[in-house]
Amino acid sequence: MPSTILVVEDEPAIQELIAVNLTFAGHKVLRAATAEQAATLVRAELPDLVLLDWMLPGASGVQFAKQLRGDERTRDVPIIMLTARSNETDKVDGLEAGADDYVTKPFSPKELMARIKAVLRRRAPQLTDDLVDIGGLALDPATHRLSGVAPGGVRRTLEIGPTEFRLLHFFMTHPERVYSRAQLLDQVWGDHVFLEERTVDVHIRRLRHALSPTGHENLVETVRGSGYRFSVAEQRLVVV
């Protein structure tokens, strides 16, 4: 699925090359040439991933990575460091600063895109186009299709709205974990969107209604006093 990627790179040619390839892949690109500019952009909109150059004017990429990891709002945002440094000590320094991966310049756009996909799959699977199949539900982000196996073993296509689709995708890529309404708003709608927490309840009801034709509505559980959870525990097992 398209994601918002912040490119922090002070060399215009490299920044443009990265931005063009990301845009071509369907991602939204935010650009900054310094850590200060990047911090301003992050305050306005939380990116799904940060491509961060090691050597920046002013504060270094390593310093900015530590800043992101030290802030509760940004500590889980995946970071890929871009640098001409290739010795082991520098790599260790970058990873210890909080980077999830390390790409050495010069790099090919194809390699960088592969690294981005790998990091998103590991840190934010809801942002990938990988098919998810759990408990008899099959969700395909690439085609925006959802199907479920009904009692009796018949697979049916399910009609679902775009917001409910994103909500279900997040649940299915993070099963068995409880999320508060505020956390779901941040993860599914984005932390720069300001909505009432009860908005989540409305979409949960719509999601359950969409899953009801195949009997999967009970997979979306209400955890009293905490929020919601997608769980297949103690549910009927379906052989696909």
Clarify whether residues 176 and 117 are in a common domain. no
Residue 106 included in any domain: yes
Clarify whether residues 91 and 169 are in a common domain. no
- Helix (H) / strand (E) element for 140: namely strand 137-140
Clarify whether residues 68 and 115 are in a common domain. yes
**What pLDDT score was predicted for residue 91?**
65
Most confident of 12-16, 109-113, 196-200: 12-16
Residue 238 included in any domain: no
**Do 161 and 208 touch, CB atoms closer than 8 A?**
no
Clarify whether residues 36 and 151 are in a common domain. no
pTM: 0.61
Clarify whether residues 9 and 118 are in a common domain. yes
Residue 59 included in any domain: yes
Answer whether residue 239 shows pLDDT above 50: no
Answer whether residue 95 shows pLDDT above 90: no
- 11-15, 87-91, 186-190, 227-231, range with the lowest pLDDT: 87-91
Clarify whether residues 103 and 162 are in a common domain. no
**What pLDDT score was predicted for residue 146?**
96
Give the pLDDT confidence of 49-76 residue by residue, as tens digits. 999 998 899 998 989 999 999 988 888 8
Task: Single out the residue in 78, 95, 127 at which a domain terminates.
Answer: 127
Task: Single out the residue in 127, 158, 187 at which a domain terminates.
Answer: 127
Task: Single out the residue in 99, 127, 155 at which a domain terminates.
Answer: 127
Clarify whether residues 139 and 108 are in a common domain. no
Residue 239 included in any domain: no
Residue 153 included in any domain: yes
Clarify whether residues 77 and 175 are in a common domain. no
Give the pLDDT confidence of 191-226 residue by residue, as tens digits. 666 778 889 999 999 999 999 999 999 999 999 999
Domain of residue 164: give its range. 132-230
Residue 51 included in any domain: yes
Residue 214 included in any domain: yes
Clarify whether residues 123 and 32 are in a common domain. yes
Clarify whether residues 106 and 9 are in a common domain. yes
DSSP state of 236: P
Q: What is the dihedral of CA 50, 200, 195, 139, to 10 degrees?
A: 40
- Distance between CA atoms of residues 108 and 18, nearest Å: 10
Clarify whether residues 105 and 169 are in a common domain. no
Tokens of 182: 């505020």
- Helix (H) / strand (E) element for 82: namely strand 79-83
Clarify whether residues 15 and 119 are in a common domain. yes
Q: How far apart are the first and last CA of the chain?
A: 25
Residue 237 included in any domain: no
Give the pLDDT confidence of 134-156 residue by residue, as tens digits. 989 999 988 999 999 988 889 99
Q: Domain holding 167: CATH number?
A: 1.10.10.10
The structural domain count of the chain equals 2
